[in-house]
Amino acid sequence: MTDRTERRRAAPMSDLAGEGQEGMTTETQDPMTLTATRAPQRRTAEKPALRERNPGRFLILTILLVLLLLIVAPLLVVAVNAVKSPADYAANGPLSLPGKLHWQGIVDFWNRVDFGLKLWNSFITSLAVAVLGVILSVLNAYALGIGRVRGRLWFLVFFLIANLLPQEVLVYPLYYLSKQFGLYDSLFSIIIIFTVIQSAFGTYLLTSVYTEFPKELLEAAAIDGAGKWRALWRVVVPVSRPTLAVLFTFFFIWTWNEFFLPLIFLISNDNQTVPVALGVLQGDRMMDATTTSASALIGIIPAMVFFLIFQRTLTRGIAAGAIK
């Protein structure tokens, strides 16, 4: 028994060291680590204690931590320089810690782009799309997954394809039509478009969930005299609330992060969302190192806040999306 578990624990290291040579090339080629990790594997049966003293045990953890640092480094560099005065940056470069916290860059940038308004535009758009998108997905999925209406397979194929379409293939007619209907440069156009686009994904996911919805619950509701409308709101929606929460979260964050269509539809300053306001400023003559970091930082913060709030729903949701 000990033999088996010990080997299971020891084995990954040696093989990963071999694997690492293809992918990462540097540290893992050290012959010391190879022998250090291979050796205990053969000897664990007699001397399991050896493994515990093995310094190579931390090698993989170290590699993973270095990788983590590399991934987070750009964000740290941005954060450090966002609170640095331009003079400090010119004198000490990007890697030094700020001499003293300089919030003026952030404040100036905030006021210059009227960032509060952009936050509000992004928030209201994302919230409206998330609510409406979930409602539309529920209605579609109720008919397709539980109602199993005729032609449901074709509807599903349609929603699947709609989900795949690049926005470029829709953009010009949408731009043209929204001008005709007086919806151009208005948050309404973005809300309507993204409600439909997001609900294509929602319908697809939710239909597969509703296909396996417990029949007994629906029959019980029918016996109690509930019509289809009441059964939907009293039974189906409450039971599937966890999935709906996942959809809501996804729709909100996706809409918040959208760039292409808002860039085209929201041209006036008063209607811009956060990504558009930040994106169009790139290459602007007013931007220097500290202002750019300040702008990046105030773009990062809302996203991080959502990530922290929604973290559990998100990880659950990513799993739900995978296993159809």
Partner 1 sequence: MAGSTKNRGYAVYLIPGIVASTAVIIVPLVMTVYISFTKWTGIGSPRWVGFDNYTRLFQDANFWASFGHIILLILAMAVVPTFLGLVLAAVLFDYIAKRFGDRWASVLRSGYYLPQVLPVAVTGIIWGWILHPSYGALNRILESVGLGSLAHNWLGDPQYALYSVMGVMIWFQLGYPIVMFMSGLQRIDPELYEAADLDGATWWQRFRKITIAMIRPELYVVLVTTTIASLKIFGQIFVLTRGGPSNATLVPSYFAYKNFFEKAQVGYGSAISTVLTVLIVVLAIVFLRLQNRAERTSS
Count of all residues that appear for the chain in the document: 324
Asked if 36 is part of the footprint of partner 1 (rule: CB under 8 A), the reply reads no
Long-range pairs for 88-94: beta carbons < 8 A, 24 or more residues apart: 89/289, 89/290, 94/289
Q: Which of residues 183-212 bind partner 1 (CB under 8 A)?
A: 192-193, 195-197, 199-200, 203
DSSP code of residue 269 = G
Nearer to partner 1, 121 or 293 (CB): 293
* Tokens of residue 15, six digits: 């093989």
Per DSSP (E only), the strands in 86-220 are: none
- In the bound complex, what is the minimum distance in angstroms from residue 63's beta carbon to partner 1? 9
Contact 254, 267 (CB under 8 A): no
- In the bound complex, what is the minimum distance in angstroms from residue 103's beta carbon to partner 1? 19
Asked if 220 is part of the footprint of partner 1 (rule: CB under 8 A), the reply reads no
Q: What is the CA radius of gyration of the chain?
A: 27
- In the bound complex, what is the minimum distance in angstroms from residue 185's beta carbon to partner 1? 14
Rounded to whole angstroms, the Cα distance separating 97 from 117 reads 31
Q: Which stretch binds partner 1 (CB under 8 A): 26-34, 92-100, 107-115, 243-251?
A: 92-100
Nearer to partner 1, 128 or 275 (CB): 275
Asked if 245 is part of the footprint of partner 1 (rule: CB under 8 A), the reply reads no
Q: Which is nearest to 237 in space by CA: 131, 90, 156, 103?
A: 131
- In the bound complex, what is the minimum distance in angstroms from residue 100's beta carbon to partner 1? 20
Nearer to partner 1, 23 or 31 (CB): 23
- Single out the residue of 106, 113, 144, 206 in contact with partner 1 (rule: CB under 8 A): 144
Rounded to whole angstroms, the Cα distance separating 245 from 297 reads 28
Nearer to partner 1, 120 or 176 (CB): 176
- In the bound complex, what is the minimum distance in angstroms from residue 73's beta carbon to partner 1? 9
- In the bound complex, what is the minimum distance in angstroms from residue 275's beta carbon to partner 1? 4
* Tokens of residue 143, six digits: 């008919």
Q: Which is nearest to 280 in space by CA: 266, 293, 294, 290?
A: 266
- Single out the residue of 64, 97, 124, 220 in contact with partner 1 (rule: CB under 8 A): 64
Binding letters toward partner 1, positions 265-294, x by CB under 8 A:
---------xxx-xx--xx----xx--xx-
Neighbours of 287 (CB within 10 A): 14
- Give the total of residues touching partner 1 (CB under 8 A): 105
Asked if 216 is part of the footprint of partner 1 (rule: CB under 8 A), the reply reads no
Nearer to partner 1, 67 or 107 (CB): 67
DSSP letter for each residue of 167-188: THHHHHHHHHHHHHTT-TTSHH
- In the bound complex, what is the minimum distance in angstroms from residue 3's beta carbon to partner 1? 9
- Single out the residue of 34, 117, 119, 139 in contact with partner 1 (rule: CB under 8 A): 139
Contact 314, 249 (CB under 8 A): yes
- Single out the residue of 170, 209, 217, 239 in contact with partner 1 (rule: CB under 8 A): 170
- Single out the residue of 32, 238, 260, 269 in contact with partner 1 (rule: CB under 8 A): 260
- In the bound complex, what is the minimum distance in angstroms from residue 71's beta carbon to partner 1? 6
Rounded to whole angstroms, the Cα distance separating 20 from 27 reads 9
- Quote the longest CA-to-CA distance of the chain: 81
